[in-house]
Amino acid sequence: MKRMLFLMVFGCCSLQQICAFPWDTSSLQKLAKEMAQVLAEEVGGRSHRRGVTLEVNFQQGEGKVMFALAPRDERDTLFSLTISAKEKGYLVQGNFFSHLEMQRVEKVVKVFLDKHSVSWEMRIATLSFGVVKVACADLYVEPRCEAGDNLGSQLLYGAAVTIIATNHDNKFVRVQTEKDGYLGWLATDTIVVVTPEAWQIWVHMPKVCLKVAAAELPAASDIGLRSDGKLWKFPAEVYITLPDAQVVLPVVKATPQNLLTTARRFLPQGDLGPITYLWGGTAVPKLDCSGFVQMVFRLNNVLLPRDADQQYQYSMPAKREDMLPADLIFFGKRQDHPTHVGIHIGDGVYIHCSPSGDYSGVKLNRLHGDSEYEKYLNGIYWGAGRILGR
Where exactly are the structural domains of the chain?
A: 7-124, 126-199, 205-251, 256-386
Residue range 256-386 in CATH 2.60.40.10: no
Residue 1 pLDDT class (50, 70, 90 cuts):
very low
* Beta strands in 256-313, from DSSP E residues, in sequence order: 276-277, 282-283, 286-287
pLDDT of the residue at 287:
98
Percentage of the chain exceeding pLDDT 70: 94
Which DSSP letter does residue 368 get?
Answer: T
Q: Which one of 2.30.30.40, 3.40.50.11720, 3.10.580.10, 2.60.120.10 gives the CATH number of domain 126-199?
A: 2.30.30.40
Contacts of 144 (CB under 8 A, 6+ apart): 150, 172
- DSSP labels, 205-264: S-EEEESS-BTTB-TT-EEEE-TTS-EEETTTTEEE---GGGEE-TTPPP-HHHHHHHHH
**Does residue 4 have a pLDDT over 90?**
no
pLDDT on residue 205: 96
- The phi and psi torsions of 232 (rounded to 5 degrees) equal -120, 120
**Is pLDDT larger for residue 13 or for residue 334?**
334
Instruction: Output the pLDDT for position 216.
Output: 92
Q: How far apart are CA 128 and CA 139, in angstroms?
A: 17
CA 313, 327, 263: angle at the middle one, nearest 5?
A: 110
Residue 351 to residue 146: CA distance in whole angstroms: 29
Q: For residue 64, list its beta bridge partners.
A: 61, 84
Would the pLDDT of 102 be above 70?
Answer: yes
**C-alpha to C-alpha distance for 341 and 293, rounded to whole angstroms:** 8
pLDDT at 161: 98
pLDDT at 362: 98
Residue 5 pLDDT exceeds 50: no
On the question of pLDDT at 88 being above 90, the answer is no
Rg (CA), the chain: 23
| Residue 303, H or E segment | none
- Assess contact for 214 and 246: CB atoms under 8 A: yes
Taking a C-beta distance cutoff of 8 angstroms, is the pair 345, 364 a contact?
A: yes
Q: Is 276 exposed, middle or buried (0-12, 13-18, 19+ CB in 10 A)?
A: middle
Rounded CA gap, 351 and 272, in Å?
Answer: 14
pTM of the model: 0.91
- The dihedrals phi and psi of 360, each to the nearest 5 degrees, come to -85, 125
Q: How confident is the model at residue 277 (pLDDT cuts 50, 70, 90)?
A: very high
**Amino acid symbol at 209:** C
pLDDT digits (tens, 9 = 90+) for 57-69: 999 988 899 999 9
Which residues sit opposite 107 in a β-bridge?
none
Strand, helix or coil for residue 35: helix
**Mean pLDDT value across residues 330-339:** 96
Between 120 and 115, where is the model more confident?
Answer: 120
Taking only the tens place, the pLDDT of each residue in 17-56 is: 434 566 889 999 999 999 999 999 999 999 999 999 899 9
| 168 three-class SS | coil
Residue 241 CA: distances (Å) to CA of 159, 204, 230: 20, 21, 8
Question: In the prediction, which pLDDT does 251 show?
Answer: 80
Whether 184 shows a pLDDT value over 60: the answer reads: yes
pLDDT in tens, 138-180: 999 999 999 999 999 999 999 999 999 999 999 999 999 999 9
The arithmetic mean of pLDDT across residues 227-244, rounded, is 93
Which residues, in sequence order, are bridge partners of residue 386? 316
Q: Which of 121-125, 158-162, 321-325 has the lowest mean pLDDT?
A: 121-125
Q: What's the whole-number mean pLDDT along residues 332-360?
A: 95
Mean pLDDT of the chain: 92
Percentage of residues in the chain with pLDDT exceeding 90?
Answer: 87
The pLDDT, as a whole number, for residue 80 is 96
Q: How far lies 165's CA from each of 82, 172, 320, in Å? A: 18, 9, 43
Question: Are domains 126-199 and 256-386 of this chain identical in fold?
Answer: no
Are 312 and 304 spatial neighbours (Cβ–Cβ below 8 Å)? no
